[in-house]
Structures are given as C-alpha cells and as structure tokens.
Amino acid sequence: MSGYLAVLVVVLIFVVIFQIAKASEYVSILKGEKKARQQSNRVNGFLLIIFLILGLVGVYYCNDALKGKIFFEAASEQGEGIDNMIKWTLWITGIVFIITQILLFWFSFKYQEKEGQQAFYFPHNNKLELIWTVIPAIALTILVAIGLRHWFRITSDAPKDAAVVEITGKQFNWLIRYPGKDGQLGRKFFKNINDANNPVGQDWDDQLNKDDFMATEMHLVVGKPVKLIIGSRDVIHDVGLSHFRLKMDAVPGIPTTLWFTPKYTTTEMKDKTGNPDFVYEISCDQMCGSGHYSMKANIVVETQEEFDAWTAKQVAQYGVAHPAEAPVAKPAEAPAAATDTTQKVVAANEVKP
C-alpha cells in the first residue's frame, strides 16, 4: 500500500509542476516571445535535473532490489569466466553511462538561454577527439579480446575424458542422442530420417549405431566435462544454456560444438535457488517459426552413480527401429540349491526296493 501512495505522490508532484509551468508560460507569453522562451527553458532545465536525480535513484534502487534475483551463480566452470566478463563490461559501461548522463542533463540546465549569455562556437579539437576515440577503442578491444578468449575456450577440443552428447534441433523440439558403451556416435544420413523410429537418420549399417540411444531430456554428470555436437534438421535454431552461460547455433548441414563442465547437480541448484521445482533448461534462442516459444527441453545434472543407473534403463534406437531383432530375454534358471535338492530326491527314490 505504501508503494502505491509513493507513486501517487510522485505523480501529483509532476502534475503540480506541469501546471505551474503552463501558468508561467501563459504569463510569459504576455510579456513577449523571447521571455516566454527563456521562461520555458528555465522550467525544462529544472525538470531535467529532477529527472536526472530520480533516474539515478531509480537505477540504484532497481539494482539493489533485483541483485541476485535475476541471474544466479553460473552453473558451469566456463560460465564463471563469462560472468566475470559481463560484470566488468557492466562496470565500465555503467561508469561511462553515469558520467555522460550527469553531464548531459547538467549542461542542459547550466547553459540554457539567458540574458547576456552567448553560445560559443566550438567546431574542432584534436585533443578531445583523440581522447574520446582512443580510450573507448582500447576499452572495447580489451573486452572483445576477453570475449574471444572465452569463445575459443568453449569451442576448442574437449578433454579426452569428456562425455559426448548430440543434440539436434527441429521444429519444434530437441532430439538428444547418446553413444552407447562404445562411447562413439554412429554415422547418420539425412535421407534415413524417419520420425517414427529414426528421427536423426542413423545409418544402421554402421555398427557404432547399434548401441546409441535417444532421450527426451539431457542427463549430465556433475564435475565431468561434456561435449555437445549440435545440428539442425530444418532451419537455424540455437541451443541456449542460460544457467551455464552458453549458447551455440544449430545450423542445418554444419555441425557445431561446444563443451563445458557442470558445477552443481539439479538437487544442489534447488537448494541454492530455494526453488523445489528448479530445472536446467535448453531453450531455442533463435526465432525459428510459429512454435519457437515451446521449443525447450530439460537437463538433469546428477552424480555418476545416478547417471549410470539412468543409462542402464535406456533402449538402443536400433532396437526401437528393429523390434524383431531385439534380443529375447532368457528364462531365469532355477537356483542351484533347488537343483541339488531335486537330484537328492530322485536318487533316494531310485534306491527304494
């Protein structure tokens, strides 16, 4: 309630100021056009100073109120560096923003039209132009270099022990494929695509495809590097991993890659955020059609034991596409103890007269 009252008071103050300004303007008109213009400039200059003060206070208040509520700590090791880069960028641009806005509004107030004050024609100054060209160029070059360093890091060769996951975008969902026990993904060919049982077009003549399996969500092991092989079946999509501070385009016919190391399990992030329904998400960060808004999938970050238990339940896509060739479960053998007992009973019957 107090918040609404504060807003109402501010609105009323602006209404009063506006009415005073209009009344002053009408009075000034009676005195002459020049005086009316000067009076209007004085009012506008005063309002600009008020707007500057309220704007800076509002920026500070919003920053303090929303600090730590919009973006939580990066959930990947690579995301830590990207967060630091963003913080430095905001500090540098924020300082420049505050200085330039203060000068802009103050100059508008200080150098308004007045009696006996004449504008100074200032067409050129080499020193000033050198300062405001070289200093921003150096600062931006440093920021770009830091950004490139992080970019080259996440797109470089992944560690040898990194897990491999393939993610393919299509309108409007993600197709996620895992290698089986051999740790290698099999070949695929776009002409083999069949939404019923072969959504990414696996080549069944390739033995590496025999144990690859598909999933509707991505499972990752905490603390273990993972390499994503990214592609698209139709238009350009974009794999957005906001919690990990990463993104990469999914381009038809051109595989792209990135790798990262998750820092926290999904359970740990639920505790950190205080949200029992928290999930890591994959979003599409490239407008890709009418169903773009719905194109997302979940990521589960878990321990190695939980990941192994999950993979043990998955069915190879080859078995889905060739159900007739799926291995038939062998009947359970009788326990050894029961077999021994049966043999003793038969032997006892044989020795009876």
In this prediction, residue 270 carries a pLDDT of: 92
Residues 64 and 167 grouped into a single domain: no
Please report whether residue 352 resides in a domain: no
Please report whether residue 124 resides in a domain: no
How many angstroms separate the CA atoms of 9 and 315, rounded? 65
User: Which uninterrupted H or E stretch holds 221?
Assistant: strand 218-221
How many angstroms separate the CA atoms of 175 and 232, rounded? 9
Which of 30, 54, 70 is where one domain is finished? Answer: 70
Please report whether residue 310 resides in a domain: yes
Which whole-number Å values give the CA distances from 289 to 231, 251, 294, in the listed order?
17, 15, 10
Q: Edge to edge, what strands does the sheet with 237-241 contain?
A: 218-221, 296-302, 280-284, 237-241, 246-250
Please report whether residue 174 resides in a domain: yes
Q: How many domains, the chain?
A: 2
In this prediction, residue 234 carries a pLDDT of: 93
In this prediction, residue 132 carries a pLDDT of: 86
Please report whether residue 303 resides in a domain: yes
Residue 232 belongs to domain with CATH number: 2.60.40.420
Residues 296 and 170 grouped into a single domain: yes
In this prediction, residue 26 carries a pLDDT of: 67
Q: What is the bridge-based pairing of β-strands 163-170 and 226-232?
A: parallel
- pTM of the complete model: 0.73
Label residues 279-318 b or e (16+ Cβ within 10 Å = b). ebebbbbbebeeebeebebebbbbeeebbeeeeeeeebbb
Please report whether residue 91 resides in a domain: no
Residues 65 and 194 grouped into a single domain: no
In this prediction, residue 175 carries a pLDDT of: 96
Which of 54, 70, 86 is where one domain is finished? Answer: 70
In this prediction, residue 34 carries a pLDDT of: 65
| Phi, psi values for residue 47, rounded to 5° | -65, -35
Q: Which stretches of the chain score pLDDT less than 50?
A: 328-332, 334-353
In this prediction, residue 33 carries a pLDDT of: 64
Q: Which domain holds residue 313?
A: 163-323
Residues 55 and 177 grouped into a single domain: no
